[in-house]
Amino acid sequence: MKVLLDSHRCQGHARCAAFAPETFVFDDDGFSRVREGMEDVKPENQAGVRKACANCPELAISIVED
């Protein structure tokens, strides 16, 4: 499973931080991106990443299943 974040859509709601803090990281203005090396989502982080995707108000997160 891969996770992608569309930085043009992200507006800094930070919902992804609530569900998958290990996967997402924030810049100094609060915009999110996928942490380096975390694009391939490990099994133990998948549930959190799915929740982050479902709860993102901007539909900025997408998941590509293997």
Determine, following the binding rule CB under 8 A, whether residue 54 of this chain makes contact with another protein: yes
Q: Which of 38, 39, 58, 63 binds another protein (CB under 8 A)?
A: 58
- 7 makes contact with another protein (CB under 8 A): no
**Size of the residue set binding another protein (CB under 8 A):** 18
DSSP code for 62: E
Alpha-carbon gap, residue 54 to 49, rounded angstroms = 9
CA distance to 12, 14, 32, 42, 64, per residue, from 27 (Å) = 10, 11, 7, 23, 24
User: Which residues of the chain form contacts with another protein (CB under 8 A)?
Assistant: 11-14, 17-18, 26-30, 51, 54-59
